[in-house]
Amino acid sequence: MPSDESATQHELELLENGREFYDRAFEAIRGARNEVLLETFIWFWDDVGRELLEALETAADNGAAVDVTVDGWGTPELPAECLERLKAKGINLHVFDPTPRVLGWRPKFVGRMHRKLLAVDCEVAFVGGINYGDDHVVGKQPDAKQDYAVMVRGPVVSQIRRFLRLAVDSGLGYLRKKRWRRFRRLPEAWRDANRENRVVFVTRNNAERHSDIERYFLMSIRSARSEIVIAMAYFFPSYRMLRHFRKAVERGVSVKLILQGKPDMEYVRTVASTLYDYLLDAGVELYEFEERPLHGKVAVFDGEWSTVGSSNLDPLSLSLNLEANLFIFDSDFGHAMQGKMNYLLEHSRRITRDDVPEATGWRHLVRIFAFHFARRFPRWLRRLPGYRQEVTEKPKSAS
């Protein structure tokens, strides 16, 4: 569901890590007078989770209508105390995939609702990758996650609010897959070096919007003229994106990838490293952030335009999960993002040929498999049982 508005009409603030994000988000929620719409993959019942509930209760006491949507896999259960307090305040809790477990497992574990969105009173919205939990508060836990979000005021907020409202109203329905028409020309904003700045809200689902976020990433890579810096928690992109990285380097663009050096799950680093050979051969600079687990999903192109959101560059985000990103064409915001990227680079270890084991024996077979999987996974994974959430306006009955 791409939608764009001029960035000159927007107030944008880049938020780093949990505490910065929670302070702004909870302040906005507590000040709500009409409506709070919140989506999150994870809501932990810890200090941050209780602080979220208190902010939602304050909004309800102010007379605001409050709807919270969590993913049934990421947030498998909340304690009775939380549910009772939500009910007492008239706060609506929606669970994406509320089906019971089978032998301890949810039958549909792919195609999760992975978005992290918040809209308050159609005045302010938040988009990013930060869940609600203590593990995003640096200093509170030894392995707190490095992550980002953006707070925005301006016309695009109405687009985000409308999307969230439709998601709540349409429930967990299914949407028939429609034929997707590929854009054959880049939008003017991507082709014009002196383009009018804008803010674009882009989502992906498992129906007619299954490639939108990836397409915007590809257009960004293709349009870059000097530098691309991407910081990504989970990285195993499509072959098409790998090819775009190589072509960017060939036309003189510096491409830097910042990945997890201190992963929250060890397999993440192992999977990403299977592509190191290809990326190094292509001339891509590889870095591993080692200060703490990197959970960010951000990028900056030519220091001028950038993206922040929930989408990783991996099979789950690109082909199965429900995601949402902002693509922001604003030089001031781009410079702020560039500063955050510089910090990550300064605290990362650069990966060289000496760090990548020679591809012999089983390692060679694994890398061959990884490369061919990258070529084919978008088509394969969409055949798995995943949810197609209906986020669409229902036809009005004739009067």
Catalytic residue among 114, 145, 210, 340: 114
Catalytic residue among 302, 314, 330, 340: 302
Do the Cβ atoms of 275 and 238 come closer than 8 Å?
Answer: no
Is residue 302 annotated as a catalytic residue, yes or no?
yes
Is residue 178 annotated as a catalytic residue, yes or no?
no
Residue type, position 159, single letter: Q
Do the Cβ atoms of 303 and 227 come closer than 8 Å?
Answer: yes
d(CA 241, CA 295): 20
Phi, psi of 98 (to 5 degrees): -85, 10
Catalytic residue among 136, 244, 256, 297: 297
Query: Which among 96, 22, 84 has a CA at the least distance from the CA of 57?
Result: 84
d(CA 70, CA 41): 6
Is residue 121 annotated as a catalytic residue, yes or no?
yes
Handedness of CA 61, 64, 65, 69 (dihedral sign): negative
Catalytic residue among 4, 71, 116, 277: 116
Is residue 114 annotated as a catalytic residue, yes or no?
yes
Structure tokens at 341: 């990227």
d(CA 309, CA 209): 16
Catalytic residue among 136, 256, 295, 340: 295
Half-sphere exposure of 126 (CA within 13 A, CB side): 28
Residues 6+ apart with CB under 8 A from 292: 138, 143, 144, 145, 146, 262
Catalytic residue among 121, 135, 314, 330: 121
Q: Which residues are catalytic?
A: 114, 116, 121, 295, 297, 302
